[in-house]
Amino acid sequence: MCGRYTLAVEYEELIEAFGVPFNPHLAEVYRPRYNIAPTDGVLILREKQHLPELIPARFGLVNHWAKDLSGAARQLNARAETVREKPAFRDAFVSRRCVVPANGFYEWQGEGKAKVPFWLHPPNEKFCDWRDSMKRGAIRSRALR
């Protein structure tokens, strides 16, 4: 389960990797980050008129039935086996998919307050490349898990 992740690359590397046009506003506000937490502002990649687009978003899924944004911190991870059936993720999986650029994520080990974070990241790549569980190759979007 991924609760925090990293996107520690320069803006130019990000737009080059995903074939996104330069956006002067995003270039000005973007900074590499090593500790992206639930509800933080992030950049996501979506398709708009068949072209990739980087846009600001909030880390966490806010369901259509939510009365406010507080639930976003709880809706972070979808299980590949049930994402199509679970009400929390079903609609977003079908019609509101995106790519969450990342180059690592944290997992904690230990008991109680003595947990230690471990940064998991690809050793020789700029970005993580999660593959779908059916081994069909890279997928265009996914929930972190």
* pLDDT tens digits along 25-74: 999 999 999 999 988 999 999 988 888 899 999 888 887 777 777 766 67
Q: Could you list the active site residues?
A: 2, 107
Q: What is the pLDDT of residues 91-130, one digit of tens each?
A: 888 888 888 899 999 988 888 888 898 998 888 778 886 5
pTM above 0.85, yes or no: no
Does residue 90 sit within a domain?
yes
Residue 86 lies in a domain: yes
What gap in Å lies between CA 137 and CA 26, rounded to an integer?
A: 30
Question: Would 142 be classed as within a structural domain?
Answer: no
Within-domain flag for 52: yes
Q: Is residue 138 part of a domain?
A: no
> What is the phi/psi pair of residue 41, to 5°?
-75, 135
- Report the number of distinct structural domains present in the chain: 1
CATH for 34: 3.90.1680.10
Distance, in Å, from the CA atom of 97 to the CA atom of 141, rounded to the nearest integer, reads 6
Domain that holds residue 20: 5-120
Whole-angstrom CA distances from 43 to 58, 59, 83, 133 are 8, 9, 22, 25
Residue 128 placed within a domain = no
